[in-house]
Structure 1
Amino acid sequence: MCVDYDRLARLYARSYADYDRLQGYARLCVVYDWLQGYMLVHVGFMIGSQEYMLGHASIMIGWRKYMLGCVFTFDLTRHRFAILKLRLRTSLRLFCFFFAQRLVQ
């Protein structure tokens, strides 16, 4: 079964991300595929009514089955260092760091 990860990430981001179209936000979309054991990390941001995708990456986390499906939204208008901590059921911790640059004057 072939999974269109980019389309899936767009659906997740549009369905769950809460962003302000006037200010501009970035979101980190993490989608788990139960069938293939992959995680998809997708980052994008909005400026006005235009949506920009920064690409995606699929990460293999072994043959174990983990349940993970979260969407995070970050405010890019206030210089901020965002730290995410996701706890999986096996107590494995995944840390995602990125520096939020200001996009809108």
Structure 2
Amino acid sequence: MVIHCNSPVRPPWFRTAQAHRRAGIEELPDRLICELGKGHTGEHADCLDTMGRGTFDVWLRWNGDDFTYVCAAPCEQVDPTIAPLLRQACWLFTDHEPGHSWEFEDLPHD
């Protein structure tokens, strides 16, 4: 069983996001949650923007107070147990660990 890491973090723009919301702008989240599987090694990661299949997605990766913006290619693995016409590719980035999105037993951000 794979479950999400769900490690929360206040992103570098946290104070700016609060000011934007007070001004009625809802563009930036004030909290990110790791979308990788529980027990992963290395940095946590949350997707900021998906550009669509065949392009790069924008992820924010963090370890403590160190934040890195990353453009990463989407993982192209598909669930082999689903009929070919119904298969959806994993929504994480290439070379992620552990588990693909269809293997998670919980919803992200629970």
Compute the TM-score of the two structures, normalised by the length of structure 2: 0.29
* More strand as a share of residues: 1
